[in-house]
Amino acid sequence: MDKLVINGGHRLTGSVTASGSKNSALPLIAATLLCGNGTCLLERIPDLKDTRTFRELLAYLGADLSYSGTTLRISTRNLQSIQAPYELVKKMRASIYVLGPLLARFGRAEVSLPGGCAFGPRPIDLHLMAMEKLGASITIRNGYIDATVSSGRLHGAHIEFPISSVGATGNAVMAASLAEGTTTISNAAIEPEITALCDFLTAMGARIDGAGTTTLTIEGVPSLQPASFTNIFDRIEAATLLAAGAITKGTVTVNGVDATHLAAVLKKFEQAGCTITIDRDTITLQSPETLHPTDIIASPYPLFPTDMQAQWIALMTQADGISQIIDKVYHERFNHIPELNRLGANIEINTNEAIVHGPEQLTGTTVMSTDLRASACLVLAGLVAQGTTEVLRVYHLDRGYEKIEEKLRHLGADIRREHYQEFSR
Ligand code: EPZ
């Protein structure tokens, strides 16, 4: 297993380039299942544990894939299977994204139910509701979703999501693209990753109106053609790198980004006293000498993203006062807090809010990652802690950050990856 060893206290400066988005790459790869003839070409696909798992899943289904640099070529002409096995789904909940495309293309899908998640309940009822609206009959058998379309082809429908769900919106849009007739989706998620998915589907010949709005209209077509598409940048990775600049009182520039995707986060950095400069596709953050306490309420896009909540808590341990952090998307997403308190932070948790008292001088020790963004939060804390911090189980971090320690080292951090043996009790 790997850990990151960080000697804190270095002010980060310089510029780095953002990678392609993980949360956009996954549905883009799934969408290639919809077109049966020819090869799709996806650019800017980051080399991450999760994108590797998704490539493995498509290969298991019978797709031909080649990956070089950040370019992924996929042909799903000769698919052999409609089953997404537990062995792969247990590694990554986003495997559920194959449900819609398989049902739409073959009228059949068997997808393992995703297991538990470190930060609380993550049901998939809205995915199943959408597929049933489009004409699928679904049974849960032996831990698998067994879905069939007796008529062989899905049909258009009106789908109303009671809450905004990125995944369920993505699955519904993909499935509706090949359905007979017109589908309307209301209260659709409007995350940039969903807009990118709609843009790729449209490039393949889908008829989608309203991309980027909460009301989508999809007129189904009989088939889709292979297409090429360039993935969007990873807004959460970019915001995490900017937070590394802020927490170390440095000045960091991230290139290759679209600042509109980060409007809510940049506003909070400014409220905390940082100076933000946007120049075409670059964002520069200059940190103040004293950070102001700044409350956040994590919510669906375009508001402050839950995937930056943990990193924000780490930053607020250095702010001069009390900050209140609420997460409206995942109420219990606070596994990182006991680990931060081990580093000397002073944070209380009350039901779905955290109260951060700052500033606290953190001191290095060994901490345990529990999920992807929690591990990013601990790395940020390690950058400012006195002495040495060891962040264990960074396989969580590798799921969503491409070569993060290299990027941080390039900005002046003293950070290295080491292999270690974990002894079971
Ligand atoms: C996506 O997850 C992201 N993952 C998550 O990022 C992110 O935290 C989340 O959106 C919210 O922004 C990927 O894109 C691969 P949701 P997803 O469906 O699609 C509830 C990361 O760190 N819900 O928008 O699974 C759900 O429990 C990951 O990169 C239902 O109740 O999230 C949550 O409270 C972690 N029933 C809320 O909706 C459903 O059927 C939003 O979830 C589906 C969701």
pLDDT by position in tens, the chain (length 425): 999 999 999 999 999 999 999 999 999 999 999 998 899 999 999 999 999 999 999 999 999 999 999 999 999 999 999 999 999 988 899 999 999 999 999 999 999 999 777 788 789 999 999 999 999 999 999 999 999 999 999 999 999 999 999 999 999 999 999 999 999 999 999 999 999 999 999 999 999 999 999 999 999 999 999 999 999 999 999 999 999 999 999 999 999 999 999 999 999 999 999 999 999 999 999 999 999 999 999 999 999 999 999 999 999 999 999 999 999 999 999 999 999 999 999 999 998 899 999 999 999 999 999 999 999 999 999 999 999 999 999 999 999 999 999 999 999 999 999 999 887 65
User: Does ligand 1 have an atom closer than 6 angstroms to the CB of 67?
Assistant: no
CA angle 360, 364, 367 (to 5 degrees): 105
Distance 306 CA to ligand 1 centre (A): 9
- Per the CB < 8 A criterion, the answer to whether 131 and 103 are in contact is yes
User: Does ligand 1 have an atom closer than 6 angstroms to the CB of 23?
Assistant: yes
If you write DSSP's letter for every residue of 71-111 in order, what string do you get?
EEEEE-TT----EE-HHHHTT-GGGGGGHHHHHHHHSEEEE
Distance 297 CA to ligand 1 centre (A): 16
What is the C-alpha separation between 302 and 377, in angstroms, rounded?
A: 22
Rg (the chain; Cα; Å): 22
Catalytic status, residue 35:
no
Residue type at 277 in one-letter notation: T
Closest protein CA for atom 42 of ligand 1: 165
CB count within 10 Å of CB 292 equals 16
User: Does ligand 1 have an atom closer than 6 angstroms to the CB of 101?
Assistant: no
User: Does ligand 1 have an atom closer than 6 angstroms to the CB of 117?
Assistant: no
**Mutation test of ligand 1: which of 49, 50, 93, 165 has the most ligand atoms closer than 8 Å to its C-beta?**
165
Which one from 40, 117, 274, 377 is the annotated catalytic residue?
Answer: 117
420-424 — which CB contacts under 8 Å span 24+ positions? 420/1, 420/2, 420/3, 420/392, 421/1, 422/1, 422/392, 422/393
CB within 8 Å of 260: residues ≥ 6 apart: none
pTM of the predicted model, to two decimals? 0.97
User: Does ligand 1 have an atom closer than 6 angstroms to the CB of 307?
Assistant: yes
Residue with tokens 């700052």: 358
Residue with tokens 């010949």: 205
CB count within 10 Å of CB 118 equals 14
- Per the CB < 8 A criterion, the answer to whether 44 and 18 are in contact is no
Closest protein CA for atom 14 of ligand 1: 23
CA angle 203, 27, 187 (to 5 degrees): 90
Q: Which atom of ligand 1 is nearest to the CA of 23?
A: 14
Q: Which atom of ligand 1 is nearest to the CA of 124?
A: 40
User: Does ligand 1 have an atom closer than 6 angstroms to the CB of 306?
Assistant: yes
Distance 166 CA to ligand 1 centre (A): 6
